[in-house]
Structure formats: structure tokens, C-alpha cells
């Protein structure tokens, strides 16, 4: 004879019974001495079969566990959203193959964004100003820049999620199934997990989210190296972009136009990255690394940067730019790279996820608070992920991306030299992705009027061509069937 229940756990003051049938009974008040506050959600997030249910019973054991929201992916987007959701009382579990593995990229952002978004305590480096360099000369930008201590941010974020009752679960998602009760996640290793909602935060190129039809994304590709250097570096400015040519050898390299991004990390330490801002590539992005590396080497030689020994760190960067937006008629939600939140003109994503996480978490908490049955996709949550105004702005940016992809190095040099001549608030709002659509349009028109004739001709033909049409057609918001 089977026992009526095979396990129990407490979450705060609630007691949950796991029945042998696999169902989880909830909402029984439990006395304080029975509470297991030390790890309140850890059990709930583990696969049901790992706790007393035989493996053969696994399919019947896949019941709705205590997790309300699964966030798949433990990158910056997944953790930022998980933190915001647990802070609103949502029972969250984060799933990733190796959730505590160090993030690979070195994340940077504008200093004022770091301050306004509350990540200033996690800055490893800050520069009071930045410089952009063009054929016409350097252009000092009165805007500070910052590099994140992303390991500390990541570990503290994980700790905060767990302290607030969230769970961090190791596993690789293989498939998502939505049904009348919620969502079921099947992992590579046979784990079967249940919840009410799922957010895909698995980064660019997610397999689980359907995107609108559209052109293939362009790519930002970069090769970065950190060096100990001989000459004393000035620490007051980061180089946001240096479009200067590295000489005649460039014509043999079959590379799209590149610029150099450089961060003086200490008086004797430099991080420099040769970057294709955005291009439609003929070959796999990684195949451009050797040529980028050679160009960076030549640039540092030309600039007289004496390097000591071997590079201290390498960074290889491939970011899809202007990937199509997620469709709003699906029940699998998305956030971060999986929701195409990368800024189509700069490749940055961090500030966008930090800016949107609170309102997305609000929408999720509200939806779960009024949970009746999952029904269709949640319009409210999708509109918090991408507001109609942000979709309009994104379409404008994507139009700009098409232009960037079409220009050669000399034209890009002129393009950005003109761009940074715009009034400060115009270019700041544009690169931070904070300018409202009318201001964005005004910036673009103003820019249109000020650029040299050949660039204006290119912009005009794009505006009245396919790119312009696509932009106007998509102004209504995320697509639904």
C-alpha cells in the first residue's frame, strides 16, 4: 500500500505535501516550530523524482511544484529579472546549465546610466570622460564611462535571489510545453519541472522563442586584448570609438569597417578591442577574429603602445544586432538577448534589462496574483517587456542599423563625427536608448539635414525603400497573429 504522501516542505508559514500521485497540496498553515526557513525553496525547485518518487513514476510526478515562475538562463538578464520578481514575492526558480559559472564578457556602460540604474556599487573602473576619434581629430565627450565588476555583481545577485526565497537550479532546458495548468520544462538530463510561467533568458539565438519575420541580424564582432604596457596611460578618459585608419594593409584584410574601443584600466594596463560595429557578414562571425587581431596589433604598433609579454586577457565578441523582435502571441515569455533587447545601434543590452526589469516584474506579479488559468499569452506582460513606444524606437534604430551596415570606413567616420556634433542630449538619448520616439525622430531628421550629401542620398533611398516601409509597417507594436 502506498503512503498518502511521500514528502513535505514548508515555505514561510505554508506547508506543502507531496502526494504519491505526484500532486502537491498547498495552503496549510504550519506552526512556527515546523518551519524550515533555512532553505525555503530549495526543495521545491528540485525535480520531483529526486525526492522519494521512483524514477519510473516520473511522468506522473510532474505536478505543479511551488515554483510560480521559471527563469531559464542565469546571465545578466535572467538574474536581473529574477531579483526583481523575488522582491515582489513571486516564487522564482532560475535554471541554467552552470548557474554560478563566471560570465564571459566584460560589461561596460555609461556612468550616468550606472548611477541611475543602481549599479554604481558594482563598478570596477570609472572614467570621468570619453573620447571619440575621427579623421578630423579627437572629439572629447563630456560623458563618463564605467566597467562593471560583473563577477561580484553576479555572485551577490545570486545570493540576494536565494536569500529572498528564490532557487538556483542546474539543468539545461530541452523543451517547453504549455498546458491548462501552466508550463512544463523538460531538461536534457530528464529533469521535468513545473510552474505557472516561464521566461526565456537564454540569450541571443534562443531556441524557445518565436521571432517576427524579418531580415537576418547583422553582427557586431570584436577582438579584445588586455595588455600590461610600458608607457604611463592617462586614466581620465575611455576611448569610446577610434575610427582612424591603420593604413594601406586594411584593403587586403577583407574586413568590414572597424574602430577601436580602448579602456585604460590602470596606468600600466590597457584593454583595447578592434570592433566591427555592425555588418551583414559573408562568413561565420568567428572567422573574422584573426584579421581583427592583426588589425588591433597594427593599430597598437602605430600608436606606439609598448606591450609587455603576452596579453593578460582575450575577449571574443559576437553580438547579433537588430535581430527580429519576439512575437507577442506566445506563452513563453522572453527577456534580455532572447527578447532581442540588444541596442541595434551600439550592441549594448545591460542598461535595457536594468531599466525594464521592475515593470516586467510588476506585470508578472500582477498576472500571478490574479492567476485563474493560463489561457492565452499574457498581453500585459509582453507589453511590459516591449512597450509600443519602445517597439517604434526599435524600428527607427533598426533603420539606422541598415545605414550603418551600408557605409564604408570613411563614411562611418564622417557619420559619427557628425553624430557627436549633435546637441549633447540628442546623442546621449540615442546611444542610451532612452530618447522617446518623437525626440528620436527629431534627432534623426536633424542629423539627416547635417550630414554630407552622399550620406544623405543613402539615407533618403533607404527611407523610401524596403527598410523605410518595414519600419513604418512595424510601428504598431509587437506582432500578434
Which residue, 290 or 460, has its beta carbon nearer to ligand FAD? 290
Task: Give the interface segment with ligand FAD, choosing from 154-162, 195-203, 235-243, 290-298 (CB under 6 A).
Answer: 195-203
Task: Give the interface segment with ligand FAD, choosing from 61-69, 73-81, 84-92, 408-416 (CB under 6 A).
Answer: 73-81
Q: Does 173 bind ligand FAD (CB under 6 A)?
A: yes
CB of 105 to ligand FAD, least distance (A): 3
CB of 401 to ligand FAD, least distance (A): 15
Q: Which of 10, 62, 202, 432 binds ligand FAD (CB under 6 A)?
A: 202
Q: Which of 16, 43, 70, 107 binds ligand FAD (CB under 6 A)?
A: 107
CB of 114 to ligand FAD, least distance (A): 11
Q: Looking only at residues 348 through 367 of this chain, which bind ligand FAD when binding is defined by CB under 6 A?
A: 348-350
Task: Give the interface segment with ligand FAD, choosing from 112-120, 287-295, 317-325, 379-387 (CB under 6 A).
Answer: 317-325
Dihedral sign for Cα atoms in the order 417, 146, 271, 101 = negative
**Which three-class secondary structure string do you get for the chain?**
CCCCEEEEEEECCEEEEEECCCCEEEEEECCHHHCCCCCCCHHHHCCHHHCCCCHHHCCCCCCCCCCCEEEECCCHHHHHHHHHHHCCCCCEEEEECCCCCCCCCCCEEEHHHHHHCCCHHHEEEEECEEEEEECCEEEEECCCEEEECHHHHHHHHHHHHHHCCCEEEECCEEEEEECCCCEEEEECCCCEEEECEEEECCCCCCCCCCECCCCCCEEEEEEEEEEEECCCCCCCEEEEEECCCCCHHHHHCCCCCCEEEEEEEECCEEEEEEEEEEECCCCCHHHHHHHHHHHHHHHHHHCCCCEEEEEEEEEEEEEEECCCCECCCCCCEECHHHHCCCCCCCCCCHHHHHHHHHHHHHHHHHHHHCCCCCCCCCHHHHHHHCCHHHHHHHHHHHHHHHHHHHCCHHHHHHHHHHHCCCCHHHHHHHHHCCCCHHHHHHHHHHHHHHCCHHHHHHHHHHHCCHHHHHHHHHHHCCCCC
Q: Which residue has the cell 523575488?
A: 86
CB of 454 to ligand FAD, least distance (A): 31
Contact 356, 433 (CB under 8 A): no
Which residue, 62 or 154, has its beta carbon nearer to ligand FAD? 154
Task: Give the interface segment with ligand FAD, choosing from 275-283, 321-329, 343-351, 439-447 (CB under 6 A).
Answer: 343-351
Q: Does 326 bind ligand FAD (CB under 6 A)?
A: no
Q: Does 474 bind ligand FAD (CB under 6 A)?
A: no
Q: How many CB atoms lie within 10 A of CB 382?
A: 23
Quote the CA–CA distance of 443 and 429 in Å, as a whole number.
Answer: 9
CB of 99 to ligand FAD, least distance (A): 7
Residue nearest to ligand FAD (CB): 75
Which residue, 107 or 259, has its beta carbon nearer to ligand FAD? 107
Q: Does 146 bind ligand FAD (CB under 6 A)?
A: no
CB of 459 to ligand FAD, least distance (A): 27
CB of 20 to ligand FAD, least distance (A): 30
Q: Does 76 bind ligand FAD (CB under 6 A)?
A: yes
Q: Does 172 bind ligand FAD (CB under 6 A)?
A: yes
Q: Does 73 bind ligand FAD (CB under 6 A)?
A: yes
Q: Does 337 bind ligand FAD (CB under 6 A)?
A: yes
Q: Does 92 bind ligand FAD (CB under 6 A)?
A: no
Q: Does 169 bind ligand FAD (CB under 6 A)?
A: no
Which residue, 203 or 377, has its beta carbon nearer to ligand FAD? 203
CB of 341 to ligand FAD, least distance (A): 7
Q: Which of 11, 71, 85, 317 binds ligand FAD (CB under 6 A)?
A: 317
Residues of the shown chain interacting with ligand FAD in the complex, contacts defined by CB under 6 A:
72-78, 95-97, 105, 107-109, 172-173, 201-203, 315, 317-319, 336-338, 342, 347-350
Amino acid at each position: 500500500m502506498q503512503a498518502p504522501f511521500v514528502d513535505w516542505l514548508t515555505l514561510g508559514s505554508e506547508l506543502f505535501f507531496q502526494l504519491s500521485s505526484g500532486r502537491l497540496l498547498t495552503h496549510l498553515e504550519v506552526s512556527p516550530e515546523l518551519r524550515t526557513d533555512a532553505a525555503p525553496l530549495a526543495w521545491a525547485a528540485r525535480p520531483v523524482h529526486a525526492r522519494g518518487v521512483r524514477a519510473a513514476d516520473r511522468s506522473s510526478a510532474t505536478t505543479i511544484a511551488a515554483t510560480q515562475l521559471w527563469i531559464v538562463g542565469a546571465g545578466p538578464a535572467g538574474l536581473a529579472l529574477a531579483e526583481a520578481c523575488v522582491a515582489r514575492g513571486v516564487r522564482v526558480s532560475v535554471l541554467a546549465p552552470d548557474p554560478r559559472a563566471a560570465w564571459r564578457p566584460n560589461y561596460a556602460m555609461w556612468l550616468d546610466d550606472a548611477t541611475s540604474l543602481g549599479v554604481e556599487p558594482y563598478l570596477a573602473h570609472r572614467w570621468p570622460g570619453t573620447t571619440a576619434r575621427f579623421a578630423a581629430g579627437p572629439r572629447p565627450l563630456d560623458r563618463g564611462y564605467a566597467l562593471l565588476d560583473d563577477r561580484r555583481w553576479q555572485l551577490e545577485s545570486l545570493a540576494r535571489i536565494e536569500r529572498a526565497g528564490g532557487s538556483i537550479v542546474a539543468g539545461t532546458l530541452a523543451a517547453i510545453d504549455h498546458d491548462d495548468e501552466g508550463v512544463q520544462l523538460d531538461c536534457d538530463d530528464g529533469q521535468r519541472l513545473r510552474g505557472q510561467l516561464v521566461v526565456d533568458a537564454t540569450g541571443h539565438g534562443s531556441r524557445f522563442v518565436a521571432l517576427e519575420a524579418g531580415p537576418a541580424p547583422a553582427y557586431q564582432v570584436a577582438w579584445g586584448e588586455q595588455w600590461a604596457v610600458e608607457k604611463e596611460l592617462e586614466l581620465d578618459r575611455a576611448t569610446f570609438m577610434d575610427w582612424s585608419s591603420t593604413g594601406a594593409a586594411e584593403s587586403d584584410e577583407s574586413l568590414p569597417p572597424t574602430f577601436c574601443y580602448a579602456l585604460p584600466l590602470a596606468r600600466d594596463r590597457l584593454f583595447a578591442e578592434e570592433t566591427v560595429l555592425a555588418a551583414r557578414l559573408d562568413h561565420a562571425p568567428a572567422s573574422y577574429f584573426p584579421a581583427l587581431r592583426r588589425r588591433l596589433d597594427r593599430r597598437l604598433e602605430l600608436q606606439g603602445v609598448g606591450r609587455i609579454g603576452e596579453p593578460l586577457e582575450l575577449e571574443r565578441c559576437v553580438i547579433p544586432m537588430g535581430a527580429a523582435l519576439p512575437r507577442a502571441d506566445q506563452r513563453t515569455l522572453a527577456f534580455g538577448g532572447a527578447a532581442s533587447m540588444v541596442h541595434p545601434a551600439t550592441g549594448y543590452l545591460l542598461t535595457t534589462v536594468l531599466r525594464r526589469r521592475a515593470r516586467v516584474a510588476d506585470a508578472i506579479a500582477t498576472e500571478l496574483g490574479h492567476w485563474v488559468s493560463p489561457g492565452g499569452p499574457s498581453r500585459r506582460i509582453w507589453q511590459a517587456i516591449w512597450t509600443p513606444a519602445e517597439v517604434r524606437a526599435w524600428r527607427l534604430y533598426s533603420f539606422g542599423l541598415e545605414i550603418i551596415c551600408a557605409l564604408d570606413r570613411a563614411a562611418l567616420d564622417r557619420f559619427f563625427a557628425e553624430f557627436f556634433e549633435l546637441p549633447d542630449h540628442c546623442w546621449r538619448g540615442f546611444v542610451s536608448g532612452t530618447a522617446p520616439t518623437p525626440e528620436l525622430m527629431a534627432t534623426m531628421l536633424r542629423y539627416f539635414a547635417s550630414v554630407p550629401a552622399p550620406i544623405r542620398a543613402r539615407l533618403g533611398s533607404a527611407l523610401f525603400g524596403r527598410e523605410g516601409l518595414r519600419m513604418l509597417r512595424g510601428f504598431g507594436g509587437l506582432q500578434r497573429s
